A = this chain, B = another copy of it.
Amino acid sequence: MTQRALTPDELEAALRQIGATRYHNLHPFHKKLHGGDCSLDQVRAWALNRYCYQAIIPQKDAALMARCEDRDLRREWLHRITDHDGLEGEEGGIERWLVLTDGLGFDRDYVISREGALPATKFAVEAYRHFVAEKSLLEAVASSLTELFAPKIHEERIVGMLEHYDFINDRVVAYFRRRLDQAPRDAAFALDYVKRNAVTVEQQRQALRALTFKTEVLWAQLDALWMAYVVGMPAPGAWAPGEGLRAIEAAA
């Protein structure tokens, strides 16, 4: 069977279709989180594990730059690292995530150590870093395209979490507010790059597969949370309620 390549607009539609069917806003854990049905400990487990994902982002972006011979692309990509790691006068996304885990009562050293994170979470985020380091540059860029779908989930999260949880305030959702501006800019650049560079049938297949892979990385993290803290079967050694909290919170 011969297959023709998609036009750029058809490719964009196919990429968006992956988001519509596989993005993690469709996972039951997100509905539970945004709808106010999570306990404080379930929100803690989510924030603790999601820290692993935040922490790997600058490393995967550095891995992309490390194998990129195109100076323009490196110059464009660099701000993704500083967006997360921060730069003088700008705290960065990882710091904002730690403000969230602070707000939930966690000891920072415990969060940063990742010792209570679920193994499945660590395997998923490490898979993302290795994917970006080992696949083609086109696939590495395409795997970032879940940001196309992020603003909607961040808006739902800010509204839903402020409304439903008295332990969530404006300060601790700063991470998501900031991503409302950052993600669309990054996604627009990456989408344009993929539409210009994925021209053959094989390249388009790779780009679509890369985005699917990334949705799997995100979905697997919520599956792991559901298994451990909704079904109630945490892997040996995983965080248990009460662990890793600042003394004052643990005593409360």
Contact of A146 with B by CB under 8 A: no
A23, closest chain B residue (CB)? B236
Does A223 contact B120, Cβ atoms closer than 8 Å? yes
Query: How many chain copies?
Result: 2
Within 124-144 of A, Cβ neighbours of B (below 8 Å) are at 124, 126-127, 130
Bound-complex Cα distance A22 to B124 (A) = 20
Contact of A193 with B by CB under 8 A: no
Bound-complex Cα distance A53 to B214 (A) = 21
Does A126 contact B130, Cβ atoms closer than 8 Å? yes
Bound-complex Cα distance A220 to B216 (A) = 15
Does A220 contact B130, Cβ atoms closer than 8 Å? no
Does B22 contact A237, Cβ atoms closer than 8 Å? yes
Of the candidate stretches A81-89, A161-169, A226-234, the one touching chain B is A226-234
Residues of B within 8 A of A233 (CB): 28, 223, 226
Does A220 contact B21, Cβ atoms closer than 8 Å? no
Bound-complex Cα distance A217 to B120 (A) = 8
Does B236 contact A219, Cβ atoms closer than 8 Å? yes
Does B130 contact A219, Cβ atoms closer than 8 Å? no
Main secondary structure of the interface of A (DSSP, over half): helix
Shortest Cβ distance from A173 into chain B, in angstroms? 27
Residues of B within 8 A of A160 (CB): none
Given contacts A227-B226, A227-B231, contact A236 B130 (CB under 8 A): no
Does A119 contact B231, Cβ atoms closer than 8 Å? no
Does A220 contact B120, Cβ atoms closer than 8 Å? yes
Residues of B within 8 A of A127 (CB): 122-123, 126-127
Bound-complex Cα distance A22 to B119 (A) = 13
Does B215 contact A236, Cβ atoms closer than 8 Å? yes
Bound-complex Cα distance A244 to B119 (A) = 29
Does B216 contact A223, Cβ atoms closer than 8 Å? no
A129, closest chain B residue (CB)? B130
Bound-complex Cα distance A123 to B216 (A) = 10
Can you give 12 contacting A-B residue pairs, CB < 8 Å?
A22-B236, A28-B233, A119-B216, A120-B123, A120-B124, A120-B223, A127-B127, A212-B237, A223-B228, A223-B233, A227-B227, A227-B231
**Interface positions of A (Cβ within 8 A of B):** 21-22, 26, 28, 119-120, 122-124, 126-127, 130, 212-213, 215-217, 219-220, 223-224, 226-228, 231, 233, 235-237
CB-based closest 3 A-B pairs: A119-B216, A123-B123, A123-B127
